[in-house]
Amino acid sequence: MIRSLVCVLACAALSASADPDLQTPEFDTTPDGLPIIDGRAFASWDEYTSSDLFRANGLRCGTRAFDDAFAESPTDCGSRTNPADQYDPSVALYRIPVVVHVIRRANGSGSVTEALVQSQIDILNEDFLAMAGTLGADGNDARIEFYLATQDPAGNPTTGITYSSNDNWFNDRGSYWTSLNWDPSRYLNIYTNSASGALGYVPWLPHQASPGSSEDRVVILWSAFGRNAPVGSPYNQGRTATHEVGHYLGLYHTFDGGCGSTSCYLSGDRICDTNSDSNPQYNCPLSSATCGTPDPIRNYMNYTTDLCMREFTPEQARRMRCTLENWRVDLADRVDACAPDLTNDGSLNTADFFQFLALYGAGDPQADFAPGNGINTADFFAFLAAYQAGC
């Protein structure tokens, strides 16, 4: 009952406290899945995202900050942040199963291929794990990993991808999540459709409403999903999903709350190691300094272009991990520091080796010791290296 009341109040506050200069435009799509905004039709999503209308309405992200006075937040990552050592990434790896619900128009337009879906999962891992040799390499490893679910809620094998054809749902209408969701307390549900004219959004931060309820979701514009997505530069490298999953795991925009007025853990974006920031930045303005210090234009939680973004800060990583421990407690599998101890008997021995071979042969996500591109020989050699290094 309390959480339901919180949800009602929070959702009401969302629309009331968003930037008053930002208006929600009337939105529709053509039969080809292209945007019509306030009656104006665009020839491509690229033309739309390059328009003044896109920026004027703040549609880099449709997630709006709202007043935490309505939020139920008794923990370390609600309306305040506690960057305690217990949330440090060195403690454990968290692995999150993902289901991607691809919603297309009845004529098939707006679809997303399985290859693009997998590339988006790869990008999430590159960014959240700061993987060497990728665009996310310069960031900080949050030790949060994502994988397409291999079992559906009934225990049946799955690709972790569903497809639906429905014009109303494609236009982000009709409470499609009530029909499509897989238990949101156990799966990260990502939906691709027209995202109401934004590149993406979440309905609320987890401490501000009802994590695990049917409407708990991440929504991404279909044409901005995956690597080299069809929306075109500068939003085609999958960073919209990185940004929105950051919200899903409890992060504010870097500019939410402006320059802040009290402790940096209680105001602004509730993070002290992101520089204060009073407005969203677009493009990649290296000299921007809205609060007297350089703005965090490289941060995934700003509004800059995909290739400008490159990091979560260490305290943002701790806040996301805190969210998993306090608000999304059933979502992730926790892999403690001794990952090769697959039999969980406190020691490394041949039983762990044979257990790995069994998992590897079955394609089980526990055998994914080298994140990205599924289960392959790289995981075998990564397990051997971890096994030989010991615990």
CB burial of residue 32 (10 Å; 0-12, 13-18, 19+): exposed
SS3 27: strand
Q: Find out whether 15 and 64 touch, Cβ atoms under 8 Å.
A: yes
Q: How far apart are CA 47 and CA 53, in angstroms?
A: 11
The tokens of 330 are what? 């059933």
Neighbours of 244 (CB within 10 A): 27
Q: Find out whether 309 and 301 touch, Cβ atoms under 8 Å.
A: no
Judged by phi (left if over 0) then psi (alpha if -120 to 50, else beta), residue 373 lies in: left
177 forms beta bridges with none
SS3 195: helix
Which residue among 72, 244, 311, 325 is the active-site one? 244
Is 325 a known active-site residue? Answer: no
Give CA torsion, residues 355, 361, 362, 367, to 10 deg. Answer: 60
Q: Do strands 92-104 and 161-165 pair parallel, antiparallel, or not at all (unpaired)?
A: parallel
To which residue do tokens 């101890």 refer?
341
Q: Find out whether 120 and 225 touch, Cβ atoms under 8 Å.
A: yes
Q: For residue 385, give every residue at least 6 positions away whose Cβ sits within 8 Å of its Cβ, in sequence order, or none.
A: none
Angle at 331 between CA 272 and CA 96, to 5 degrees: 80
Give CA torsion, residues 308, 312, 313, 318, to 10 deg. Answer: 170
Q: How far apart are CA 225 and CA 98, in angstroms?
A: 14
Q: How far apart are CA 307 and CA 283, in angstroms?
A: 9
Q: How far apart are CA 261 and CA 206, in angstroms?
A: 23
Q: How far apart are CA 190 and CA 183, in angstroms?
A: 12
Catalytically annotated residues: 244
